Amino acid sequence: MTVGSPAGHILAFSLPLLLGSFLQQLYNMVDSWVVGNYVGEAALAAVGIGFPVLFMFTSLFMGLSTGGTVVIAQFYGAGKMDRVRDAVDTIYTTFTRMAVPVTAGALVLVRPILFLLRVDSDCYHEAWVYLMIVCAGLIGTIGYNLNAGILNGLGNSRTTLLFLSIAAVMNIVLDLVLVLWCGWGVMGVAVGTIVSQAFSWLFGIFYINRHYPEIAIHPFCGRFDRMLFKEIMTIGLPAGVQMSLVAIGTMIVTSKVDTFGKEFTAGFNVGNKLDTMAFLPMQSVASAITAFVGQNVGAKKLDRVRKGVQVTVIMAVVWCGIMALILIPFSAPLVGLFSPNAQVIAAGSVYLKCIMPFYVLFAVMFCLNNAMRGAGDSMFPMVCVVLSLIGLRVPAVYVLANRFGSDMMFYGYGIGWILGFILVVAHYFSGRWKRYGSLAEEKTVEKVE
């Protein structure tokens, strides 16, 4: 990524990520489609409730993956493959030491979290079953994200698409077999998810070891570089904390949504899935700009960093305009694909019509935050997201819901995004994110075998 057209590299990197993310969301949406049409609204609400909880538990390791992507990208851009290998070993040693305690903690916290979310009694049992199973299989989900982070740092997003393709096909087949044929309901959806994710993770290790022998993954090698771990966590921990807090904020919003009944919850969850699907191109481009900035900072080519960021922002603006023109007028028929219930359709439509006019602000904020993270500045993106998506958005949703009712509450999203947009644009143009320099310039190495 350090030579050639910035736009070409960003597009070439983001397209496989986009297709992979689309497949991931597709099988998530198949989960919702299957339970919504063949099990019921309670099961549909249960699956939707489970997503932010699962995201919260995996966020710490997703932060580790993000930090790994940046560190690997900068060393790779500087041509230091020995340090890339050290980073891979450090990431996996951290994973093997923490995966079991995190999984155990997640299982213990499922019931208290469902209580705090004020889950409707009609879907409480289904939500509990779904979360207990997917939390038991967290290792596969975390492992997949670590493999993706390693490959992204190397500039290889095509292989991530291969992993997700395998997981998507397996998950869809297992959904149809376990839910429609075996009649397992929500339990079948959860089992299909963890089996497909675990297989994708293990296949990823096999692939990396075969095609990248110089950085082959040995999960239990125990090699740990304290300096690299510090650098990875300096970047990754704020990202992980940010994602965890966003998940908590989403759960707080969900808790308020749940007070309007299971149909409203189901509609909100469907609208959220459509919103997530619409955002996939921006998520992919943001991942691309993180790797692009990381490699070019490592190679000391800040002029290419600036050009890459400009291209990314233009893509964000154009795409969000297209999505607004589709999702606002066609919200009802799109939500109706997942449930024939009129109340579910109305709730999902309200959600989309409230958030889409402000979508471009969130997209630009997201892309600029990822660009600055690629340069090693991870603290400001965390502060920006926490202030805008939690400090302002969550209270705004509650105030609007209490004063104006459920049809107005989702405008709180836009209020939070306005603040985030202002903060991130000001910080980017201040240039403070450039002061971190290249990690590849480090002089000392401290290792513990």
Task: Name the residue among 118, 126, 114 with its Cα closest to residue 36.
Answer: 126
- pLDDT on residue 50: 66
| 4: exposed, middle or buried (Cβ count in 10 Å: 0-12, 13-18, 19+) | exposed
Q: Is residue 396 over pLDDT 90?
A: yes
- pLDDT on residue 28: 67
Token look-up 């070409």 returns: 8
Q: Tell how far CA 37 is from the center of its chain.
A: 27
Query: Contact 233/35 with Cβ under 8 angstroms?
Result: no
Q: What would the two tokens of residue 342 be?
A: 């009129």
Tell me how far apart the 2 most distant CA atoms of the chain are, in Å.
64
Q: Is residue 36 over pLDDT 70?
A: no
Task: Name the residue among 86, 56, 58, 84 with its Cα closest to residue 70.
Answer: 84
- The answer to which of 254-268, 310-324, 357-371 has the lowest mean pLDDT is 254-268
What pTM did the predictor assign?
Answer: 0.69
- pLDDT on residue 415: 93
Number of other CB atoms surrounding residue 67 within 10 Å: 29
Predicted confidence (pLDDT) per residue in 64-79, tens digit? 787 888 888 878 877 8
What is the rounded CA–CA span in Å between residue 384 and residue 422?
10
Q: Is residue 443 over pLDDT 60?
A: no
Query: Contact 55/138 with Cβ under 8 angstroms?
Result: no
Q: Which residue has the higher pLDDT, 3 or 337?
A: 337
- pLDDT on residue 427: 92
Q: Which residue has the higher pLDDT, 23 or 27?
A: 23
- pLDDT on residue 447: 44
Q: What would the two tokens of residue 347 be?
A: 């709730």
Segment 122-146 shows an average pLDDT of 84
Predicted confidence (pLDDT) per residue in 178-217, tens digit? 877 887 877 888 898 889 889 989 988 998 899 888 888 8
Instruction: Using alpha carbons, list the distances in angstroms from residue 346 to 63, 225, 281.
Output: 36, 53, 26
Indicate the pLDDT class of residue 242, thresholds 50, 70 and 90.
Answer: confident
What is the rounded CA–CA span in Å between residue 334 and residue 349?
9
Sequence-distant (6+) residues with CB within 8 A of 88 are 68, 72, 150, 215, 217
Q: What would the two tokens of residue 284 be?
A: 């992919």
Task: Name the residue among 100, 106, 167 with its Cα closest to residue 132.
Answer: 106
Indicate the pLDDT class of residue 449, thresholds 50, 70 and 90.
Answer: very low
Q: Is residue 419 over pLDDT 90?
A: yes
Please report, rounded to a whole number, the percentage of residues in the chain having pLDDT higher than 90.
10
Please report, rounded to a whole number, the percentage of residues in the chain having pLDDT higher than 70.
89
Mean pLDDT of the chain: 82
